[in-house]
């Protein structure tokens, strides 16, 4: 698989990574652990070198899964994880905490769960309004100096916060949602990242599954599936948003590619320092997603997609209000 550099950091990863959250959390019951280890091994065998997890996924169980699965390949892969939440003991988040002492506690625990000597990429999961970002960046800078962390990342941060953090410790990557049906980062975030030499790691690059074309207004989700509370996933909004999938399918039919492959190829074509991390629990979906790296969209294709997508008004907020309040800070 093609490799990409994460901004100016020099950290090289596969052009497509693997988001591991859904194996343990967010989309219904956790998948079978042994099957997920086999899936992660299959990703490595197919050239994936970039794996994304977080203490919040489970909580904790996803880091343990990723750590166990990747232990045999440690010298071949880059593992990203995240800090910044507290948990209620019942599997739920109870608040945010990016105080320096807590960041250090999370780092030590993540090192153990991931079975590594150093965390390759350590993201602040969400900006904590109660802790100056300079304190956060300074703490990660110290962890880097101590050899416990290699690179610093942010997630869902505003351009202003990115600049303030970068002034203390260079930021290797920003992870935020970005796809054909969520294009807000294009206005201010992408220009800021390009100026500072920071990579962009889009999560939910397939719109939480919607852009695969396998979800319609009739689809029902498991009672524990996060999409049940996402406004964009009401039956009415799914029906309205089908126009975006129809566009991807039309372009895909012309290119002998699936809607998911066109959605990922479009992201890859935006900037050479963008590395999407689609997640899956199925081998055939992994292979489909990785096939997007071989889909070459022409300038004419990109213009056609841009013009057509610009005419589609995506319906529904990306998050319920209490979660939307955590992004863009």
For residue 274, which of 207, 159, 208, 185 has the smallest C-alpha distance?
A: 185
Kindly name the residue from 25, 57, 123, 178 that is annotated as catalytic.
57
Nearest to 250 by CA among 309, 299, 311: 309
Q: What is the DSSP-derived secondary structure letter of residue 197?
A: T
Closest CA to 236 of 180, 315, 309, 181: 315
Q: Which segments of the chain does DSSP mark as H helices, in order?
A: 33-45, 61-70, 100-114, 133-145, 159-168, 189-196, 235-255, 259-270, 283-290, 299-310, 321-324
Cα–Cα dist 139/205, whole Å: 30
Q: Which residues contact 302 (CB under 8 A, 6 or more apart)?
A: 266, 269
Parallel, antiparallel, or unpaired for β 199-203 and 173-177? Answer: parallel
The DSSP call for residue 182 is B
How far apart (Å, rounded) are the C-alpha atoms in residues 71 and 224?
30
Spatial distance between the Cα atoms of 163 and 35, rounded to a whole number of angstroms: 41
What is the per-residue burial (b if ≥16 Cβ within 10 Å, else e) of 128-149?
beebebeebbbbbbebbeeebb
Interacting residues of 314 by C-beta distance below 8 A, sequence separation 6+ = 181, 182, 232, 241, 244
261: tokens are 């492959």
Q: Cα separation of 208 and 289, whole Å? A: 13
Quote the CA–CA distance of 153 and 6 in Å, as a whole number: 11
> Is 57 labeled as catalytic in the residue annotation?
yes
**120 close to 78: Cβ distance less than 8 angstroms:** yes
Instruction: List, by residue number, the catalytic residues.
Output: 57
């Amino acid at each position: 698989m093609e490799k990409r550099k994460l901004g100016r950091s020099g950290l090289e990863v596969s052009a497509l990574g693997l988001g591991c959250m859904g194996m343990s959390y967010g989309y219904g019951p956790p998948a079978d652990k042994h099957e997920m280890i086999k899936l992660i091994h299959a990703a490595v065998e197919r050239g994936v070198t970039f794996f994304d997890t977080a203490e919040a996924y489970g909580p904790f169980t996803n880091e343990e899964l990723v750590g166990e699965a990747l232990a045999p390949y440690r010298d071949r892969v880059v593992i990203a994880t995240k800090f910044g939440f507290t948990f209620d003991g019942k599997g739920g988040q109870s608040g945010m905490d990016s105080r320096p002492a807590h960041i250090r506690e999370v780092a030590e625990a993540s090192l153990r769960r991931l079975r590594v000597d150093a965390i390759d990429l350590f993201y602040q999961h969400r900006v904590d309004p109660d802790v100056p970002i300079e304190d956060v960046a300074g703490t990660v800078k110290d962890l880097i100096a101590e050899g416990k962390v290699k690179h610093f990342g942010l997630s869902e941060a505003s351009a202003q916060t990115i600049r303030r953090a970068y002034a203390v410790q260079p930021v290797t990557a920003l992870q935020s949602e970005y796809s054909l049906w969520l294009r807000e980062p294009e206005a201010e975030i992408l220009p800021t990242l390009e100026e500072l030499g920071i990579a962009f790691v889009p999560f939910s690059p397939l719109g939480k599954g919607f852009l695969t074309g396998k979800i319609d207004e009739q689809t029902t989700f498991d009672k524990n599936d996060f999409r049940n509370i996402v406004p964009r996933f009401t039956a009415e909004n799914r029906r309205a948003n089908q126009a975006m999938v129809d566009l991807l399918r039309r372009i895909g039919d012309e290119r002998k590619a699936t809607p998911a492959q066109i959605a990922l190829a479009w992201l890859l074509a935006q900037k050479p320092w963008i590395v999407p991390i689609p997640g899956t629990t199925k081998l055939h979906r992994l292979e489909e997603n990785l096939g997007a790296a071989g889909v070459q969209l022409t300038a004419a294709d990109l213009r056609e997609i841009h013009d057509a997508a610009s005419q589609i008004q995506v319906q529904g907020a990306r998050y319920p209000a209490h979660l939307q309040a955590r992004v863009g800070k």
